């Protein structure tokens, strides 16, 4: 379940006015996902996605992602486009949490991938990186090798019933990853400065 924040009619009215959406005729919580609260919003003319950013997200990183999506859209990369509110900002607040509204992209999960799917994914990732190399945005990579130790320490291991010794196994794996990590990867990461450092 990924609907952590319940919205009400007052929230919807506020969003409708702030983003000049017209009447929101339906809001539906999206159950898939793990970190943020997402809603499908339906107006008389379109569908949109409302994301309410929950605790794990660093607020200081949100403008980076909004700007990146906007720039990628301008370069014809297919991704959600963040809308701007009446203050000309991508971000608003819902129940004292940062929130954004982005365009709706039609599609669904694929449980099984075929060769064409894999080819299309690779082609689009290549296009994304090619375009991204020209985008001058910066954010430190929060999932880089030097951050994995902190991430592992933050996990609360509450049970050994399913996978005994999981914590010690993951610690051994992390040591091995660090040992095997390519020395020149930092230079490569810097090339894609809009995502990594």
Domains annotated on the chain, with CATH: 9-103 (3.30.200.20), 138-197 (no CATH)
Which tops the pLDDT comparison, 83 or 138?
Answer: 83
Q: Residue 172's CB: how many other CB atoms inside 10 A?
A: 11
- In terms of C-beta density within 10 A (0-12 exposed, 13-18 middle, 19 or more buried), how is residue 18 classed? middle
CA distance 36 to 50: 10
Are 14 and 27 in contact by the 8 Å Cβ rule? The answer is no
Decide if pLDDT at 192 tops 70. Answer: no
Best CA proximity match to 68, nearest among 138, 152, 120, 170 = 138
pLDDT at 72 over 90: yes
Lowest-pLDDT range, 44-48, 84-88, 115-119, 153-157?
153-157
The answer on pLDDT for 30 being more than 50 is yes
Res. 185 pLDDT band, cuts 50 70 90 = low
Is the pLDDT assigned to residue 85 strictly greater than 90? yes
């Amino acid at each position: 379940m990924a609907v952590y924040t319940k919205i009400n009619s007052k929230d919807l009215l506020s969003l409708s006015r702030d983003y000049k959406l017209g009447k929101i005729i339906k809001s539906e919580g999206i159950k898939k996902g793990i970190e943020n609260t997402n809603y499908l919003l339906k107006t008389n003319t379109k569908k949109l996605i409302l994301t309410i950013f929950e605790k794990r997200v660093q607020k200081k990183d949100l403008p980076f992602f909004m700007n990146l999506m906007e720039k990628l859209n301008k370069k014809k990369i297919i991704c959600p486009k963040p809308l701007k509110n009446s203050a000309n900002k991508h971000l608003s607040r819902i129940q004292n949490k940062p929130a954004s509204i982005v365009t709706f992209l039609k599609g669904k999960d694929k449980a099984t991938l075929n060769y064409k799917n894999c080819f299309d994914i690779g082609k689009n990732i290549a296009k994304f990186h090619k375009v991204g190399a020209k985008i001058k945005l910066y954010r430190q990579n929060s999932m880089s090798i030097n951050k994995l130790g902190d991430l592992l320490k933050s996990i609360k291991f509450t049970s050994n019933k399913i996978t005994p010794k999981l914590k010690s196994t993951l610690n051994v794996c992390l040591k091995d990853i660090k040992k095997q990590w390519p020395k020149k990867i930092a230079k490569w990461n810097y090339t894609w400065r809009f995502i990594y450092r």
